[in-house]
Every structure is written in C-alpha cells, then in structure tokens.
Amino acid sequence: TKRWKLEKNGKLNEAMLLEAAEILKAGGTVAFPTETVYGLGADATNKNAVAEIFHAKGRPQDNPLIAHVATKEQLLDLVEDVPDYVYKLIDTFSPGPITYVLTSNGSCAENVTAGLSTVGVRIPSHPVAIALLKTCNIPVAAPSANLSGKPSPTTANHVWEDLKGRIAGLVDGGPTGVGVESTVIDCTQAIPVILRPGGISREELEEVVGKVIVDPALASTDSTDKPKAPGMKYTHYAPEVPMWLLEGGSEKVQQVVEQLATKGERVGVLASRDTIEKIEGAEKISLGESLEDIAANLYEGLRRFKQGEVDIILCETYPEIGIGQAIMNRLQKAATKYIKE
C-alpha cells in the first residue's frame, strides 16, 4: 500500500494526485479523506474494481456503496426521475455530508448498488476528495475505509491499521472534520426519508424541504423492521471490548464504574469533558464539549480502548438534537447493552 502525505499547504502535490487518479482509473483501490470519514475508492463504473472494495473490507455483498462525484452535473448523470426537492437539497447542502438515494440510470456497475434499482450519490466537500475526483474524472464508489464491523476511520492511521497491504493507496490528509458519516436520504418518494442520520441533521433538512420522514426502522429495536439502507442492519462501529451505553449522566456512570470495579473489571469511560472530570476509578477518554466535538472524536475514542487494557467501556447518552441523532445512532449500534433509566 502506497501512502501519500499532503504538502504543508494542506494540498496534495500534482504528481501524487495524478498517481492516485491513475490507480483509480486503472481499476485499483485508493483510500482518501472526506469531510466525514475516510473513504475507500474505486472506479464506480468498473465491476472488478468495485469487487476489490468488498474484498479489502470484508464487506457483505448485499450492502450497496455510495458513488462520489465532484459536481452536480456528474451527480445528475448517474440518476433519473429526480424530484424537484432534490435540486433544493443539492443547492443547499452539496458539496457536503449528505447522500441522495435516487433511481439509478445504470451508469454504475451493478455491484455498486448491490442489485438495487437505486444508487446513493454524494459530492464530498473535503478539498482533497474534490481534487482527486476532478483529476480522475470518474464516479468513485467509496464506503468508509475500515474493515467491515469496525468504527469508521477518521484518521489515515485508522485506515492503515485496518487496510494496510489490502489496498493500493492511501492519501493521508490528516483527521477528517465532521467525524460521523453523511446523512443518507431516500429521495425516490414525494417526501424524503432519512435512512441514516449523519452530518446534516433532520432539522437542517426540514428548513429547506419542509417535512422529512425518519425511517421507522432506525428507532426500532424490533428486528422484524428491516431498515431500508441495507448497511444499517449489520454489526457496526464495534470497539475491541464490550460497550455499555448508560442513561442518567455522570452519576449513573460513576455508580456503574464502582459496581464493575468491585468485580475486578477494568473500566474505560468515554464521555463529554464535563462528565469525565467527575469520574473516578476508571480509564477515561474525553470526547470534548459540544455535540460537534463529540461527533468528531467519537470513532477515535471507540478505537482507542484496546483489548488487554480495559475489559469494558461505559459511554453516556446524548440529546438527539442536530448531530446528536447521528451520535446516538452510532452509539446504539456500537453498544452491546443499552441501560435506560
């Protein structure tokens, strides 16, 4: 795996950009930063190239990929039957952390869509992602660049840890910004449906298009409700050791730390700075103060507690406001147990 570093000005030099773009055009896999998480890219029109992605990640074959493009025109070239409200969404939020699920016009290889009639399309806003997409000038299929089941990568080292030797290249662009993935929104109906909460919140979407539906399967713990985004049904974001999600703030966390400590368990606590300051008798990682900080630091936190160092991780809940919806969605998937008040 070849690893490229950015120049001091935060840009990829021309030669590296061309080299990475050539690999993509020739059917190879290249991981690159986006504003949400690192993606593992391949030519979305080349079935063999796309198959390499599934192979490298160990990803289930029935989980479709997002096609990434640099411009609105390129995005519209991949889809048909686009409702009017999608143009409003694109003009407001793209480039940015949002993925539109639309009827595919067949331009992408069939394994990108995992055989569905729809395709997820997105314009990332990270300057390195945009530069790479412009240089190769092809739609690039890119899931998060982690091994399937692990937390998504928010630094190049996370990608290296998971995929070194399994992919052709990695563009090291430093830590990503948003930290949770894009919002996936089904735009095939009269009213848009959020399939995966992400970097753009429900509130922000509703300001632009009025009513937005949240896929009922997201709120449900009943396994007979099948989520419409196939990826939402798999084990995801799992840290190396079991994690409990606790309602009830710092007092509850401290109480459970003490209960576990008397049983000889080594406890790790992942929480906001305020909570961390109040906790004693555990390994602690602060996720920061605002919900934005917490989103940005979440996956690094989930990866940092290692097997052999702690036996169990405790994590607190967050208000499901704005990006808090994406944070809570990921925490519920990462947790082995959810203890409500």
| Residue numbers at the binding site for ligand TXA (CB under 6 A) | 34, 36-37, 39, 63-66, 97, 99, 101, 113, 116, 118-120, 122, 124, 142-144, 181-182, 184, 195-196, 228-232
Of 74 and 250, CB closest to ligand TXA: 74
Contact partner at residue 229 from ligand TXA, Mg ion, none, CB < 5 to 8 Å by partner kind = ligand TXA
Task: Find out whether 72 and 174 touch, Cβ atoms under 8 Å.
Answer: no
Which residue among 29, 144, 201, 250 contacts Mg ion (CB under 5 A)? Answer: 144
In the complex, what is the shortest distance from the CB of residue 34 to Mg ion, in angstroms, rounded to a whole number?
12
In the complex, what is the shortest distance from the CB of residue 184 to ligand TXA, in angstroms, rounded to a whole number?
5
Write b or e for each residue in 42-51: b if 16 or more Cβ atoms lie within 10 A of its Cβ, otherwise e: bbbbbeebbe
Contact partner at residue 322 from Mg ion, ligand TXA, none, CB < 5 to 8 Å by partner kind = none
Q: Which helix (H) or strand (E) holds 169?
A: strand 169-172
In the complex, what is the shortest distance from the CB of residue 331 to ligand TXA, in angstroms, rounded to a whole number?
16
Of 233 and 273, CB closest to ligand TXA: 233
Rounded Cα distance between 42 and 139, Å, is: 8
Task: Return the number of other C-beta atoms located less than 10 Å from residue 186's C-beta.
Answer: 21
Instruction: Copy the structure tokens of residue 338.
Output: 């959810």
In the complex, what is the shortest distance from the CB of residue 77 to ligand TXA, in angstroms, rounded to a whole number?
16
Of 175 and 230, CB closest to ligand TXA: 230
Of 144 and 155, CB closest to Mg ion: 144
Burial class of 157 by CB neighbour count within 10 A (0 to 12, 13 to 18, 19+): middle
Closest listed residue to residue 70, CA positions, set 1, 29, 17: 17
In the complex, what is the shortest distance from the CB of residue 322 to ligand TXA, in angstroms, rounded to a whole number?
17
Q: What are the phi and psi torsion angles at 298 (to 5°)? A: -60, -50
